[in-house]
């Protein structure tokens, strides 16, 4: 089954700082912040929300079609997607731009500082939501501003239910715009910080926002997640990873789990746990698209972690 994924495609440069940012940033001096972090570890990876979600969904046995714009430097990434069986039909190359680039520094407490160059992502509105690709569900993840707006409108017009996942793109929108996204979406997914910002900008409490969609998902990192649905709040436990290696891309892995549950008609208790396990598996590996598993292996681990079958 197929999901349509509006989101960024990016090259990630990931660096590890073997200390804590808090040990080197003086709160009373942030107005004149001028710091340098020595990062002996550096990797270049394929990333971006659409690419990461599609990769994770493919591991689960479903197809995710990225809806994105990229630069003239995209060819190595395109070859990777082809090898992984991820469609590239709705990825448009903008010849005079770079593919989006993320420069991510992670400290020992898994805090991250990211610099992001949008590049061709800003032209995401050039790609339309296809109505003939078999998409049963969609997601509007961080992408170019106009692309996010237009893809939400196109999903709604086509009657394709979608998740609104504003992520790092949330600060680009004012309250009325965010409420429009919520009204068009069937589901909303945010992390704890984003949920607070969403409430602040819209002027609505989380409970009021949850009443406007079928489910509102709030991820809480190592504390699991909460799913507000049908007037209830489901507490979804976190899965303890075998190793804490790299948190980059965990949110995208979690959202692939949500899409898998929606595509397969699973209830929210199971869907949330699939998403939770996906995030845990991702954090055990460096990079956003380097982890892997067999579907039988995933089902076995799911049963071991939660004491029930998928």
State the pLDDT at residue 269: 98
> Nearest 10 degrees: CA dihedral of 5, 8, 9, 15?
-130
Q: How confident is the model at residue 183 (pLDDT cuts 50, 70, 90)?
A: very high
State the pLDDT at residue 25: 85
State the pLDDT at residue 28: 79
State the pLDDT at residue 137: 98
State the pLDDT at residue 3: 98
The Cα 299–Cα 253 span in angstroms is 16
- Mean pLDDT lowest for which of 21-35, 115-129, 293-307? 21-35
pLDDT for 189-233, tens place per residue?
999 999 999 999 999 999 999 999 999 999 999 999 999 999 999
- Provide the mean pLDDT of the chain: 96
Confidence check: pLDDT of 30 > 80: no
State the pLDDT at residue 307: 96
> Nearest 10 degrees: CA dihedral of 267, 270, 274, 279?
100
The Cα 32–Cα 25 span in angstroms is 10
**pTM for the whole thing?**
0.93
Residues 6+ apart with CB under 8 A from 296: none
- Mean of the pLDDT values across residues 82-105? 96
The Cα 54–Cα 20 span in angstroms is 32
State the pLDDT at residue 109: 85
Do 146 and 139 form a contact (C-beta atoms < 8 A)?
A: no
- Mean pLDDT lowest for which of 11-15, 110-114, 196-200? 110-114
- Mean of the pLDDT values across residues 136-158? 98
- Mean of the pLDDT values across residues 28-37? 83
State the pLDDT at residue 266: 98
Confidence check: pLDDT of 248 > 90: no
DSSP string, 239-290: PPPS-----TTHHHHHHHHHHHHHHTT--HHHHHHHHHHHHHHHHTSSSSS-
Could you tell me the domains of the chain? 2-20+42-294 (3.40.1190.20)
State the pLDDT at residue 32: 81
Confidence check: pLDDT of 246 > 90: no
- Mean of the pLDDT values across residues 154-169? 97
């Amino acid at each position: 089954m197929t999901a349509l994924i509006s989101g960024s495609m990016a090259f990630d440069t990931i660096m590890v700082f073997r200390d804590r940012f808090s040990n080197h940033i003086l709160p009373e001096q942030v107005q004149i912040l001028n710091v340098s972090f020595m990062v002996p570890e550096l990797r270049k990876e394929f990333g971006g929300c659409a690419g990461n979600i599609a990769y994770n969904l493919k591991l689960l046995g479903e197809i995710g079609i990225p809806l994105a714009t990229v630069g003239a430097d995209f060819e190595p990434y395109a070859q990777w997607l082809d090898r992984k069986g991820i469609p590239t039909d709705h990825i448009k190359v903008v010849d005079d731009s770079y593919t989006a680039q993320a420069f991510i520094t992670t400290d020992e407490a898994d805090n991250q500082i990211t610099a992001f160059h949008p590049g061709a992502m800003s032209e995401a509105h050039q790609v339309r939501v296809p109505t003939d690709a078999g998409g049963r569900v969609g997601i509007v993840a961080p992408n170019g501003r106009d692309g996010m707006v237009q893809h939400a409108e196109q999903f709604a017009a086509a009657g394709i239910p979608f998740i609104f996942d504003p992520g790092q793109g949330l600060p680009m929108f004012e309250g009325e715009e965010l409420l429009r996204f919520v009204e068009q979406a069937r589901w909303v997914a945010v992390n704890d910080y984003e949920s607070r910002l969403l409430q602040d900008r819209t002027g609505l409490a989380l409970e009021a926002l949850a009443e406007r969609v079928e489910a509102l998902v709030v991820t809480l990192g190592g504390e699991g997640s909460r799913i507000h649905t049908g007037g209830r709040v489901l507490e979804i436990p976190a899965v303890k990873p075998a190793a804490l290696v790299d948190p980059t891309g965990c949110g995208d892995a979690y959202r692939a789990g949500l899409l898998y549950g929606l595509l397969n008609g699973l209830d929210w208790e199971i869907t949330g746990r699939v998403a939770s396990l996906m995030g845990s598996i991702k954090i055990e590996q460096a990079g956003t698209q380097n982890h892997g598993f067999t579907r039988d292996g995933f089902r076995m681990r799911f049963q071991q972690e939660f004491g029930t079958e998928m």
